[in-house]
Amino acid sequence: MLVILVVFVLSVSCGHYEQRYDGDEISDDDDDDLGPGPDDDNGGDDDSQIDDDDGPDIDNYSWVNDKGDTVELYDHLGDVVMLNVGAGWCKPCREDAPKIEDQIYQPYKDQGFTLIELIVEDDLYQIPSAEFLQSWRDQYELNYIICADPDWTLLSYFDTISLPFALILDRELKPVFQSHGYDEAIFTDMIKELL
The per-residue pLDDT string of the chain (195 residues; one tens digit each, 9 = 90 and over) reads 433 333 333 333 344 333 333 333 333 333 334 443 333 433 333 332 333 456 688 999 999 999 999 999 999 999 999 999 999 999 999 999 999 999 999 999 999 999 999 999 999 999 999 999 999 999 999 999 999 999 999 999 998 899 999 999 999 999 999 999 999 999 999 999 999
Number of compact structural domains in the chain: 1
Q: Residue 119's domain is classified under what CATH number?
A: 3.40.30.10
Triad 42, 58, 60: Cα angle to 5°: 90
Query: Is residue 51 in some structural domain?
Result: no
Which residues lie below 8 Å from residue 27, measured CB to CB, with a gap of 6+?
none
Query: Is residue 100 in some structural domain?
Result: yes
Q: Please tell me the distance from the alpha carbon of residue 103 to that of residue 96, in angstroms, as a whole number.
A: 10
Nearest to 164 by CA among 98, 120, 101: 120
- pTM here is 0.74
Per the structure, the complete domain to which residue 121 belongs is given by 23-32+57-194
